[in-house]
């Protein structure tokens, strides 16, 4: 997807005010009724419609009038909100070229004032195969408080939390710099995904390092679940770095053994094919079963090892449950045999992360939900033209307080509107109709409250 951050520089305060109002409205509505956006944004002289038209022109919002007149954020709109927050925090000042397209993400180079180049990963859950999307849609249909933006935000938060925790335990992962919404900023790995590497000086050593990582992860209570040549980076000195963590599970997950074996099998298969390794010779010291694969059952595992670090990043048990249920939509459809499928479906309460005893409480980290609500949303001014490859996004420091106030006041305004809707006190019949009745899933009061609580 094209990310033209030039547009970002020319968006006005009102544009961001309305864009933020749409984001807030999406906590309860897949499509936010236009009048609700107007009431949350409460622009002094009206004019929300004109602003929405501008946002629509730049593809930051999508218009939907199939059930009622409303808007939702597009991924681009969500990108801009996250990028603006990162710029205001001083995390980076310029966005450069796209360096990766993952299954469900886009990765860009970004650089800060010192010229340090980092990687920015924008999560895009839902951008998968038709089958997987279908199963996810089926799942989401029964969970009206979920939407793609929410899930992408959870994926980013999980990735950030795991990267930080793993780094603290000495695993070779990128340095986790910051996260906001669906966006994670991390150090840039100077290397290539293993899938692009045709030759290695020491394939045996690299192979053993990688298998050693899977085993060490399990000892720390974790399974990567997507450990393959696409998610292993290797540099010119053949140093290995692992990436891509949103799908990790605990070793006490009911399918832990299967996930572990699958990770191991991927590595064996790849090294066998690409580097012609013969495993009987090179994996003697880690070999402990007949097939020369490390065996899950013989590893001493310490579940819950990283709980403290994960909770410190603001990643809660509820977050884990939510994202795991979503991810397992894939497993049910694509990866599990029919028998397993049946037994999965019969479980009413799927718990993905049994042994990670995460705090139920949100932490005060700036990555948590409340943190998101009070983000600064400072209007970036026109930046100087510099590196032709990257787009500078200098910000105006004087606006910082104003923007904090903006988000706070919009949140307050939204709460007021929601409270009025709960009491059914709307005088305006258009508002009541579109908001309470045509809003579909949020037509009863307790449901609205539940959705509010679960955002």
Which stretches of the chain bind ligand ADP, using CB under 6 A? Answer: 99-100, 102-105, 107, 119, 121, 174, 186, 188-189, 193, 230-231, 243-244
CA–CA distance, 179 with 61 (Å, rounded to integer): 22
Q: Which of 14, 109, 229, 244 binds Mg ion (CB under 5 A)?
A: 244
Tell me the residue nearest to Mg ion as measured from the CB: 244
Tokens representing 94?
């310029």
DSSP 395: B
CA–CA distance, 329 with 261 (Å, rounded to integer): 20
Which CB atom, from 52 or from 184, has the smaller least distance to Mg ion? 184
Which CB atom, from 27 or from 158, has the smaller least distance to Mg ion? 158
Tokens representing 351?
């718990």
299 binds, among ligand ADP, Mg ion, none (CB under 5 to 8 A by kind): none
Q: Which of 100, 102, 212, 386 binds Mg ion (CB under 5 A)?
A: 102
Choosing from 106, 178, 226, 263, the catalytic residue is 226
The stretch among 28-36, 204-212, 238-246, 425-433 that binds Mg ion (CB under 5 A) is 238-246
Helical H segments across 90-147, by residue range: 130-141
Q: Which of 85, 228, 231, 431 binds Mg ion (CB under 5 A)?
A: 231
Tell me the residue nearest to ligand ADP as measured from the CB: 102
Minimum CB–partner distance for residue 123 and ligand ADP (Å): 8
Give one word for 101, left, alpha or beta, with left for phi > 0 and alpha for psi -120 to 50: beta
Give one word for 264, left, alpha or beta, with left for phi > 0 and alpha for psi -120 to 50: alpha
Q: How many residues does the chain have?
A: 455
79 binds, among ligand ADP, Mg ion, none (CB under 5 to 8 A by kind): none
Minimum CB–partner distance for residue 276 and Mg ion (Å): 25
Which CB atom, from 244 or from 332, has the smaller least distance to Mg ion? 244
Which CB atom, from 233 or from 310, has the smaller least distance to ligand ADP? 233
* Count of residues of this chain found to bind Mg ion when the rule CB under 5 A is applied: 4
140 binds, among Mg ion, ligand ADP, none (CB under 5 to 8 A by kind): none
Minimum CB–partner distance for residue 246 and Mg ion (Å): 9
Place of tokens 């307050």: 412
Is 226 among the catalytic positions? yes
Answer for the pair 5, 95: CB distance below 8 angstroms, yes or no.
Answer: yes
Which CB atom, from 71 or from 150, has the smaller least distance to ligand ADP? 150
406 binds, among ligand ADP, Mg ion, none (CB under 5 to 8 A by kind): none
Place of tokens 């679960």: 454
Which CB atom, from 100 or from 203, has the smaller least distance to ligand ADP? 100
Cα→Cα distances 183→38, 69, 113, 162, 255, Å:
27, 29, 19, 14, 29
Closest by Cα among 111, 107, 105, 109 to 87: 111
CA–CA distance, 195 with 197 (Å, rounded to integer): 6
- Residue 65: strand, helix, or coil: coil
- Residue 112: strand, helix, or coil: coil
- The residues of the shown chain that bind Mg ion, judged by CB under 5 A, are 102, 230-231, 244
- Catalytic residue numbers read 226
């Amino acid at each position: 997807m094209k990310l033209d951050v030039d547009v970002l520089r020319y968006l006005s305060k009102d544009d961001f005010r309305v864009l933020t109002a749409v984001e807030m409205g999406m906590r309860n509505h897949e499509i936010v009724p236009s009048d609700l956006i107007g009431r949350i944004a409460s622009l002094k002289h009206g004019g929300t419609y004109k602003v929405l038209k501008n946002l629509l022109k730049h593809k930051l919002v999508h218009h939907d009038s199939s059930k009622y007149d409303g808007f939702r954020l597009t991924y681009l709109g969500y990108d801009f909100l996250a990028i603006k927050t990162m710029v205001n925090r001083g995390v980076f000042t310029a966005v450069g070229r796209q360096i990766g397209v993952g299954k469900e993400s886009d990765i860009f180079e970004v650089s800060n004032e010192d010229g340090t180049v980092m990687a920015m990963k924008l999560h895009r859950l839902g951008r998968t195969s038709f089958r997987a999307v279908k199963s996810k849609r089926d799942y989401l249909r029964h969970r009206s408080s979920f939407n793609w933006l929410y899930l992408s935000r959870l994926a980013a938060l999980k990735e950030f939390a795991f990267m930080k925790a793993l780094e603290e335990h000495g695993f070779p992962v990128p340095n986790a710099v910051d996260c906001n919404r669906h966006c994670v900023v991390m150090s840039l790995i100077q290397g290539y995904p293993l899938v692009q590497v045709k030759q290695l000086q020491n394939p045996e050593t690299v192979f053993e390092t990688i298998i050693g990582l899977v085993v060490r992860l399990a000892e720390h209570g974790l399974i990567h679940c997507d450990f393959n040549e696409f998610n292993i980076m290797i540099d010119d000195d053949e140093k290995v770095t692992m990436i891509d963590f949103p799908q990790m599970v605990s070793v006490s997950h009911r399918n832990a053994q299967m996930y572990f074996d699958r990770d191991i099998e991927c590595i064996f298969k790849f090294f066998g094919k690409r580097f012609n390794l013969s495993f009987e010779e090179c994996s003697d010291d880690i070999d402990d079963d007949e097939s020369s694969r490390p065996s899950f059952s013989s590893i001493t595992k310490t579940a819950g090892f990283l709980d403290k670090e994960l909770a410190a990043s603001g990643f809660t048990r509820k977050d884990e449950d939510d994202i795991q249920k979503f991810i397992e939509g894939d497993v049910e459809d694509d990866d599990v045999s029919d028998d397993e499928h049946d037994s999965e479906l019969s479980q009413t309460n799927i718990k993905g992360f049994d042994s990670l005893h995460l705090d139920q409480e949100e932490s005060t980290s700036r990555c948590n939900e409340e943190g998101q609500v009070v983000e600064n949303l400072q209007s970036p001014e026109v930046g100087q033209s510099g590196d032709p490859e990257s787009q500078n996004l200098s910000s105006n420091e004087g606006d910082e307080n104003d923007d904090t106030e903006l988000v706070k006041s919009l949140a307050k305004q939204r709460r007021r509107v929601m409270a009025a809707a709960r009491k059914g006190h709307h005088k305006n019949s258009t508002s009541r109709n579109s908001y309470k009745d045509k809003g579909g899933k949020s037509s009863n009061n307790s449901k609205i409250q539940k959705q509010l609580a679960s955002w």
